[in-house]
Amino acid sequence: MTSGFTGGLILQVNVWELAKSSEPIPIAVMGLLVLFSLLSWTVILSKFAQLRHARSANRKFLRAFRKAGRLDSIAAASAQFGSAPLVALFDFGYSEVSRQVNGRGKLSNPMALERTLQIGISEEIAKLERRMSWLATTATVSPFIGLFGTVWGIIEAFQALGLTGSTSMRTVAPGIANALVATALGLAAAIPAAIFYNHFGYRIKEIGTHMEDFSLEFLNLTERMFEG
């Protein structure tokens, strides 16, 4: 146990010493990869909380919607579910219904209501997908940045061999270490970004399906209330 702990401590110190003694380009590569990783984890944590809250609020609002049975009572209660995408979709539909029903007492253009609901769905999906492109960029670009650092480290190692004429590990170790660290940082940034990009994409698609279903329920309710 002591030996393993000591080895890990020595490795940490060596990596820090390596960063301090590296050339500007390897330092820039490592710093860029660390920045990509930190920003992607910021997006991951915020998106995880956003989608979790949206799903919970959607479920609560949908229960209230199905119990109420009237648009005006649902509109009065919708403020307490403000963060739910379904509430925003309901507001789109309710505003359109109010415009059509006002003065006529029934829906004058059901197709316009359907188009309004589709616009609402598109806008809510766009909000949920905000900053997802950063995860896609990190997953795509980070391995190539790491590969650049790897190639640069190998070039440094060969340059050291050519300058010193020595084949000892002490000569090539800094360049090889830079190459390995760049590879590891590139993968550490790319893998979580790719995993959570796919995970969040599935969750957003699931919420989008629920909004499509809700729009049909909304249309059915308005037809029962105002048509015929």
Q: What is the predicted pLDDT for the residue at 67?
A: 86
Please state the domain count of the chain.
1
Whether residue 6 is contained in a domain is answered as no
Whether residue 12 is contained in a domain is answered as no
Which has the closest alpha carbon to 22: 201, 179, 206? 179
What is the span of the domain harbouring residue 202? 24-226
Four-CA torsion 125, 217, 97, 54, nearest 10 degrees:
-30
Whether residue 2 is contained in a domain is answered as no
Whether residue 198 is contained in a domain is answered as yes
Tokens of 191: 């893998």
Those residues with Cβ within 8 angstroms of residue 156's Cβ, 6 or more apart along the chain or in another chain = 23, 26, 174, 175, 178
Percent of the chain with pLDDT over 70: 81
Phi/psi for 23 (5° steps) reads -75, 165
Whether residue 99 is contained in a domain is answered as yes
Claim: this prediction has a pTM higher than 0.75: yes
Whether residue 4 is contained in a domain is answered as no
Whether residue 52 is contained in a domain is answered as yes
Whether residue 9 is contained in a domain is answered as no
Tens-digit pLDDT profile for residues 127-150: 999 999 999 999 999 999 999 888
CB 144 within 8 A of CB 29: no
Which span out of 36-40, 69-73, 100-104 was modeled with the highest average pLDDT? Answer: 36-40
Please determine, for residue 3, whether its predicted confidence score (pLDDT) is greater than 70. no
Mean predicted lDDT score pLDDT of the chain: 82
